[in-house]
Chains A and B, each alone.
Chain A
Amino acid sequence: MKKKISILLVSLIGFFLLSFDNSNAQEISTGEGIALAGVALGVYNAIDENCDDKRKEGTLQTRCKDGGCVTVSCISFRKACDKADDC
């Protein structure tokens, strides 16, 4: 019984992951270069919901933008960085 449940779970997770992957592949299929739209979705999901509270304590977030590592809004989809070389 346990074995069947395990197989069912693995199947469901696999189905979910494949569906997720396909939806992103369609979104970026017309683009050029490194396909990183999934990263943006990941950032979207991982945005700390308390980032505005952090701002009040003086913590500003830096992300790669326009060729530099700059301070941005906490909701930015950009990749995090500490210095320009990270970009």
Chain B
Amino acid sequence: MIVSKNKKAYYKWAFLPCLILISLFSCESNEIKIANDSKSFEWSQISIDTLEITPSRASQLGFFQVKDSSIYFVDQAYGLVEEFMLNGESDGVKKRELDGPEELMGVSELIPSREGFVIRHDWVFYFYDQDWNFLRKSVLQFPSSVSYDEIMDNPKGDYIGMYELQNYNARTVELPDGDLLTKLDVEHPIFNAFISRAYYRDSRVLGKIDMLSGKVKEIKITRPASYEAFSFVPFHNKFDFDVTKTNLIYVTHEIDSLIYVYDQDWNLKESFGAAGKEMNTNYTQSQNLDVAFESNYFYASRKSEGFYKDIFVDEENELVFRTYRQGSDRQDLLDETYNPLRLQIFKRNKLLGDYSVPGKFKILGKVGVQYIADGFFDEQNEKQGFYILILN
């Protein structure tokens, strides 16, 4: 529901002292009230605040992560991990690349763990304790139980040796048993998203990684049958997942409005969902490999077509958040993040709301009653911050 103008004015005056205090810490908070254009909802107000931060060095090329009650800003150009409190105040740089015995070469992902933190750079995992002391590192490996010739001549979905990390919108999480779970892809010359139906039916999307050795020891979950409605949609073979504290795995695929829930034995438990609004689902379909070598097809598809994107599960409150892009006719969009993004909120598997959100909005975690989301980046004005979503 949109907050009335009178209430807005009241809030502005009530929070004026707070704003002054925040500005003293070199932070700015810009509240964005978003309209709930769904007919049924249970919150009187949903709002997204933008909390700008001032890192010690910033290139506006990076991302945020949440662990416990702290927010971490990763500047990928400078190779820094800086901790911030919820009020936007810095608690200092905690890690920088090339600093220390581990020879950290960069930060592709920051993964919270019970032990402390895991940094993934390319295919290497660096493990740290809670105080950022280096513990060990391991290289991601896809061990093969069959010969190289067998993999090349007769690829099968259960051959771990032919898989690779899904780099685009990568996500790795720590499972309750301490292993890591990450997104997979396979680009075998004759078993891939461009020309192979077997890819859509048999390739696995998630890989369980032994945290000590870095070896992928299990690959699980295939794509849903909904992919059968298309010939080949290689630019939308992507997906996202979240794992709950009770070890349920929620998976959303880019072309499918359903959300699939798997139990700890990887069995499909249930599915639910709702289609997004006004999505352009006229997907570019391929018949051969030529489009794989022309990046423009990839970029155009990501900007103009609608697809489901990121998922976050608040198990305690039985809420599931999923974003989707609608697609755009505009030819001048710089990249995917300008493709209009919306957020669906499900409660007990029923859609309660569907809201327009900023282009890079992605819920990372929950601190108290506040959902922290990545992220606000303004390269022209050299500003960055994270979003705080509140349901009242």
- Interchain CB contact under 8 A, A43 and B189: yes
Interface-forming stretch among A3-11, A13-21, A64-72?
A: A64-72
User: Which residue of the partner chain, among A27, A33, A47, A70, contacts B294 with CB atoms under 8 Å?
Assistant: A33
- Interchain CB contact under 8 A, B163 and A66: no
Residues 48-60 of chain A: 1 if any B CB is under 8 Å from the residue's CB, otherwise 0?
0100100100101
Q: Does B188 contact A (CB under 8 A)?
A: yes
Q: Does B45 contact A (CB under 8 A)?
A: no
Smallest CB–CB gap between A45 and chain B, Å? Answer: 9
B-side contacts of A22, CB under 8 Å: none
User: Which residue of the partner chain, among A39, A49, A73, contacts B293 with CB atoms under 8 Å?
Assistant: A39
Could you tell me the distance between the alpha carbons of A41 and B189 in the complex, rounded to whole angstroms?
7
Q: Does B297 contact A (CB under 8 A)?
A: yes
Q: Does A40 contact B (CB under 8 A)?
A: yes
Known: A52-B161, A76-B187, A77-B189. Is A68-B292 also a contact (CB below 8 A)?
no
Residue of B nearest to A37 (CB): B289
- Interchain CB contact under 8 A, A78 and B123: no
Residue of A nearest to B190 (CB): A44
How many A residues touch B, CB cutoff 8 Å? 36
Q: Does B267 contact A (CB under 8 A)?
A: no
User: Which residue of the partner chain, among A52, A64, A79, A87, contacts B144 with CB atoms under 8 Å?
Assistant: A52
Known: A65-B167, A68-B167. Is A28-B162 also a contact (CB below 8 A)?
no
B-side contacts of A44, CB under 8 Å: 152, 189-190
A-side contacts of B162, CB under 8 Å: 73, 75
Q: Does A12 contact B (CB under 8 A)?
A: no
How many B residues touch A, CB cutoff 8 Å? 36
B-side contacts of A78, CB under 8 Å: 187, 292-293
- Interchain CB contact under 8 A, B187 and A60: no
Smallest CB–CB gap between B237 and chain A, Å? Answer: 10
Which residues from 292 to 345 on chain B have a C-beta closer than 8 Å to any C-beta of chain A? 292-299
A-side contacts of B294, CB under 8 Å: 33-34, 36
Which residues from 81 to 138 on chain B have a C-beta closer than 8 Å to any C-beta of chain A? 122-123
Residue of A nearest to B295 (CB): A67
Residue of A nearest to B235 (CB): A66
B-side contacts of A28, CB under 8 Å: 288-290
Known: A52-B148, A71-B167. Is A64-B189 also a contact (CB below 8 A)?
no
B-side contacts of A37, CB under 8 Å: 288-290
Could you tell me the distance between the alpha carbons of A4 and B218 in the complex, rounded to whole angstroms?
60
- Interchain CB contact under 8 A, B297 and A33: yes
Q: Does B38 contact A (CB under 8 A)?
A: no
Which among A28, A47, A71 has the greatest number of chain B C-beta atoms within 10 A? A71
Q: Does B139 contact A (CB under 8 A)?
A: yes
Could you tell me the distance between the alpha carbons of A77 and B295 in the complex, rounded to whole angstroms?
15
- Interchain CB contact under 8 A, B163 and A77: no
Could you tell me the distance between the alpha carbons of A44 and B230 in the complex, rounded to whole angstroms?
26
Smallest CB–CB gap between B43 and chain A, Å? Answer: 36
Q: Does B172 contact A (CB under 8 A)?
A: no
User: Which residue of the partner chain, among B151, B167, B295, contacts A70 with CB atoms under 8 Å?
Assistant: B167
- Interchain CB contact under 8 A, B165 and A71: yes
Q: List 6 A-B contacts (CB under 8 A).
A: A28-B290, A33-B296, A64-B293, A73-B187, A75-B187, A78-B187
B interface residues with partner A (beta carbon < 8 Å): 122-123, 139, 141-142, 144, 148, 151-152, 161-165, 167-168, 186-190, 192, 286-299
Closest 10 CB pairs of A and B: A73-B164, A44-B189, A36-B293, A31-B290, A77-B189, A66-B168, A70-B167, A76-B187, A37-B289, A40-B289
